Structure 1
């Protein structure tokens, strides 16, 4: 019994278990994306055939051509990109200032503010829909990009601020003081010293804000009825007919929508991973 116990402990805490857990996570994360990709390469006849085929027997790109011709997919992509990039820029600007104030200024209510930020970030989006709609209607902002940019900014601010606070707290104050002695203002020291040194955290916050805005559906559907301003998540729902769902075409449109985010994450993968791990350690 004593000889078997170390072996069991070694398996549960060693490399084999890590590989098994890693494979489970990869399969769980990749399977839906792969299924959408395979579906986008099938014909409707093959998709509905029995028994189900996992891989397309005769891959076709016709669904991708239909995705661009049946609906103005390029317009949806452009609207989503503009809304996401503008809301991300605004989120980063505000969250940098807020995080710096929480990390550097001697605020008596600092812990209370951080607790409030965490509490606000837990509110379900559906509970905010009606108040946000009434605000946008009162400001006459419905059917504009601003009606989406402002809520997306507000919704991403709590998480982005918390990420940046942990990074800013790890930057020595002496670096800022040296910059201010050389003639920088406090704001100048923030953007010339603190922000560049916190690049992994800034990239992580930016990616999260961009993905949240890119994927959001409920507000985009509720605040915008102008066909020329529809974002990608709402535009994809237009491919369905009254009595039919062209799943191969819808899947092709989904793949097109996934590609920009996937490319963005691949390009900044190292910075995002560094940001998440460093923020977790510092927090």
Structure 2
């Protein structure tokens, strides 16, 4: 009898403890969902309003209805209307050229620099790392005047290289930072085994380390391309009508009335530019996440 009473006494207090734990988990998960919803609305709200405005008739531009009213596709046609002085179609091609060239150059230089900083030991290594990171802290506005004078003297104003080369300098520190942290976490044994089998350091890098770094390289390529396409300040001063990217082309959109900016056409152009980037990120989100987090945990 004493044993049975002891079991009953011990078993009874466990129920409220389990209930309190379950309620705590539910409350915590509820807070997580609410926080995620707030972040989602905060991030997608401006994009949603841009799409809604792009689908509206220009006469209802300032309608506050939170869903599309008086829907029309005329704004998307007006974005490509060259008779109004818009150069949006050509600007799309220019942005792809500038972004692709910037990304390719930044990856070629960044992969080798990141590997050297992460895997090699040389004098001044930490000084170089500090200089690479400090280069990303300079605001672009500080470089506008010297770059404009330099490119004017050598005749580069209005050419692609006048925007590609500065963009490389802006994107390269980010490329080196992401890839260096990834290379540093890769196991040394793989590289040492390749060296023992007779491979040179470059062969070990090209055949062993670089394929392992593919997720991080892919992630960096997407981020570098988006950063290059979004650049506006230097493009507004260093490009011409034939080489201007979409950021400058959208900023100088003109409509029928010179005193009224064509907001709906601007929103339509912004939608055309943004949707492919959003789709690309959604399609490759797993690779992006794995590339950003792969070097964050030590094995």
Q: Supply the distance in 2 between the matched residues of 1:11 and 1:216 (Cα, whole angstroms).
A: 44
The RMSD of aligned alpha carbons is 2.4
What is the distance in 2 between the residues matched to 1:13 and 1:115?
44
- 1:129 and 1:147 map into 2 onto residues whose CA distance is 11
Counterpart of 1:18 in 2: which secondary structure? Answer: helix
Note if 1:214 corresponds to 2:229.
yes
How far apart are 1:181 and its partner, in Å? Answer: 4.7
Q: Is contact 1:38–1:55 with CA below 8 Å preserved after alignment?
A: yes
Indicate the SS of the match to 1:127. helix
> What's the counterpart of residue 39 of structure 1?
53
Aligned length: 276
Q: Does 1:238 align with 2:238?
A: no
Query: Residue 71 of structure 2 corresponds to which residue in structure 1?
Result: 59
How far off its partner does 1:180 sit? 4.1
SS at match of 1:122: coil
**Equivalent residue in structure 1 for 2:282, among 239, 258, 266:** 266
Match of 1:252 among 268, 271, 280: 268
The Cα of 1:151 is off from its aligned counterpart by 0.8
* 2:8 paired residue number: none
Determine if contact 1:83/1:213 at 8 Å carries over to the other structure.
yes
Match of 2:13 in 1: none
Aligned-partner SS, 1:48: coil
Would you say the 8 A contact 2:88–2:246 is kept in 1?
yes
SS for the counterpart of 2:294 is helix
2:151 is aligned to 136
Deviation at 1:278, TM superposition (A): 2.5
Q: Could you list the per-position Cα deviations for residues 26-82 of structure 1 after superposition, in whole angstroms to 9, with x for gaps in the alignment?
A: 001000000000000001222234xx2121223211111111114232211100001
Whichever of the two has the greater Rg, that structure is 2
Match of 2:132 among 105, 111, 117: 117
Write the distance in 2 (CA, Å) between the matches of 1:13 and 1:180. Answer: 54
| TM-score of the two chains, using structure 1 as the length reference | 0.89
1:102 is matched with: 117
Deviations 1:212-232 (A, max 9, x none): 1011000111111x2111110
Is the CA contact 1:11–1:17 (under 8 Å) kept in the aligned structure 2? Answer: no
Partner of 2:205: 190
Q: In 2 relative to 1, CA 124–281 (structure 1 residues): closer, same or farther, beyond 3 Å?
A: farther
Structure 2 partner of 1:93 = 108
Once the two structures are TM-superposed, the CA of residue 255 in structure 1 deviates from its matched residue by 0.5
Give the alignment's TM-score, normalised by structure 2: 0.85
